[in-house]
Amino acid sequence: MNKTLPLMAGLLLVGSASDVHAQAAAATSPVKPEQPVLTERTVYSGAPMTPEQKAVVFEKADLQFTVDPAKKHLDGNAALTFRATAPVARIVVDLDQNLPISRVEVDGQVLAATAYSNPDGQVTVTLPKPLAVGERTTVRLVYAGKPHVAARAPWDGGFVWATAPTGEPWIATAVQGEGCDLFWPCIDHPMGEPEIVDQHITVPAPLVAAGNGVAMGMEEKNGWRTYHWRIKNPDTYSIALNIGPYELLSADYQSRFGNTIPLRFWYLRGNEAKAKVLFTEFPQLLDFFESTIGPYPFADEKMGVVETPHKGMEHQTINAYGNEYVKTSYGYDELLQHEFSHEWFGNQLTNSDWDDMWLHEGFGSYMQPLYMEYLHGDLLYYTQLNSHRIKIRNKFPVVSGQTMREEDVYSGERGPGGDIYAKGSVILHTLRQLIGDEAFFTSVRRLVYGTATPKPGNFKPRYGSTKEFLAIINEVTGKDYTWFFDVYLYQAALPQLLVQRDATGLNLSWKTQGNGPFPMPVDVRVDGRVQTLTMADGRGRVALSAHSVYTLDPHSKVLRQEDYIDVYQRFEAERMKAMAERAAAEAAKKK
């Protein structure tokens, strides 16, 4: 994934499931010296699409992979079908140039080597005949090589060649950061989703290849097995290879929406007892998400999880799980829950640009306190929420308003990093308190499904943006909340609540970066009674007697700058720095 990468979870949400998604932002991901260096085009995911890529609909990818664990080698054969929405003379896809292409065909016609090129990780194929609007073409690329190995999956993307505890090969891919082009030719952009992907994964018998979508069959011949999987509308980075000595747990879940959802968990041979315990969380997770957000988006395929040699990732319908069956003090497997949240926020709703990645990670992170509220009530809701609050850094806006590469969004040095998790979560809590549950959850459903009344069969995966979410909020509430989005999402600094007490009362005023409007209501508890100040012009006053005791925002509704958190964060930073210096000194002594 990034060279300071991602997918995974708040770099600052250390110790939580969100962990997976972003310790990355902090760490660099060194490329192993024996590996070919990736080009900049391949390393970075989400560069602007080319005109040729914008001019086509990616209808289908038929992908044939032969994975040889002994040689750590991949043979690929990809047939890609496109429909033109504008006249187009070339097809452009992304593929790591370290996987050399041996043949290119267009609609069955083999092209001369001069008709295609891949100088920097972007393959350009000149069509024998330009496509008119509405015409289709199928481009086949045959390629092979040793795919990029992840130095620290899932934060550094690529192949993971591992060995299961029982001695067999155990292989996975995790490519959210660098993108799908690490092992198959794709449009490496959030809006590059194909409508259908078929995978034919050939592996040595008796290994199992657990895949995305629906199992279409398995054939075994000459000591090799070929597994066929089919999925609709997948995120490009969600396409994954998961190969190992797997055994399978299966069940069916009867949804509150009247449909039946297949539950599937591929676990390593020898882990059956622990796997069965984790499997009991699957129905509970589905009930939470379906009752809170809406129908499971991929019910006609499966809720799938596979045990992996890396921490985890939200691969659509086959979520990677490598948390070693650990439960938190909250009583659940936090990583499983976080990755599963991305079936709604990431796979059903996909950001239209990496700049809107908080729609994946912020919503996914907020599902953790909401899950605690669902399971255990208010105490754990606020406990989990506070664990997010203390990790907010405010160095960059959560949303820049410009096209961003995935690498830069997840980097805490060049972009919001872990704030897309932690800050996104607490922003959503504040928004919910401001507009109320009915408006909040109605708006979320419209963003996720394109309708406020989702039912199985009346929605499909869609793209969304921060601007669209604001428009939905405004329409649902009948009010303009641009000021809220401007301060919390498009500015880095948190609003400050300035307080002045005089002989007869308390004067309150909001101070924001840029001094724009911020009519955020504030509750004040005075001698046990709560008053709400509307702060319509950013100011308010409450009367106090000489000995009155007051508490600002007693029910923790509003995200704002608070001195005690700033002090704590500075202390923690100094403590961690001192620990690192001591560790370095000890290491130097041993040399």
Contact between 133 and 88 under an 8 Å Cβ cutoff? The reply is no
> Do 572 and 543 reside in the same domain of the chain?
no
| Residue 518 in domain | yes
> Do 577 and 541 reside in the same domain of the chain?
no
According to the annotation, is 338 in a ligand binding site?
Answer: yes
| Residue 325 in domain | no
Rounded CA separation 505/484 (Å) = 28
SS3 state at 345: strand
pLDDT for res 7: 34
pLDDT for res 78: 98
Phi (first) and psi of residue 101, to 5 degrees? -90, 130
Has 586 been annotated as catalytic?
Answer: no
Phi (first) and psi of residue 5, to 5 degrees? -80, -170
Q: Which of 330, 366, 421, 449 is catalytic?
A: 421
pTM value? Answer: 0.92
Give the structural domain span for 588.
Answer: 561-591
> Do 549 and 524 reside in the same domain of the chain?
yes
| Residue 14 in domain | no
> Do 527 and 552 reside in the same domain of the chain?
yes
pLDDT for res 591: 75
Report how many domains make up the chain: 2
> Do 504 and 543 reside in the same domain of the chain?
yes
Q: Which of 339, 343, 406, 407 is catalytic?
A: 339
pLDDT for res 34: 60
Has 339 been annotated as catalytic?
Answer: yes
Phi (first) and psi of residue 297, to 5 degrees? -65, -25
> Do 590 and 549 reside in the same domain of the chain?
no
According to the annotation, is 342 in a ligand binding site?
Answer: yes
> Do 500 and 539 reside in the same domain of the chain?
yes
| Residue 184 in domain | no
Which residues, other chains included, contact 461 with Cβ-Cβ below 8 Å and sequence gap of 6+?
193, 232, 233, 297, 347, 348, 349, 350
Phi (first) and psi of residue 167, to 5 degrees? 100, -10
Q: Burial-class residue 513 by CB neighbours within 10 Å (0-12, 13-18, 19+).
A: middle
pLDDT for res 22: 39
Across the chain, which has 591 residues, the per-10-residue mean pLDDT values are 32 38 37 69 90 98 98 98 98 97 98 97 97 98 97 93 98 95 96 97 98 98 98 96 98 98 98 98 98 98 98 97 95 96 98 96 98 97 97 97 92 94 98 98 98 96 98 98 98 98 96 96 97 97 95 98 95 92 88 75
| Residue 50 in domain | no
3-state helix, strand, coil in the chain (%, to 5): 30, 30, 40
| Residue 501 in domain | yes
> Do 537 and 506 reside in the same domain of the chain?
yes
CATH number of the domain enclosing 534: 2.60.40
Rounded CA separation 572/416 (Å) = 20
Which residues, other chains included, contact 408 with Cβ-Cβ below 8 Å and sequence gap of 6+?
354, 414, 415
> Do 536 and 569 reside in the same domain of the chain?
no
pLDDT for res 81: 98
Which residues, other chains included, contact 52 with Cβ-Cβ below 8 Å and sequence gap of 6+?
88, 90, 91, 92, 124
pLDDT for res 27: 34
According to the annotation, is 361 in a ligand binding site?
Answer: yes
| Residue 203 in domain | no
| Residue 521 in domain | yes
Extract the runs of DSSP E, i.e. beta strands, from 255-360. Answer: 260-268, 303-307, 312-313, 319-321, 349-351
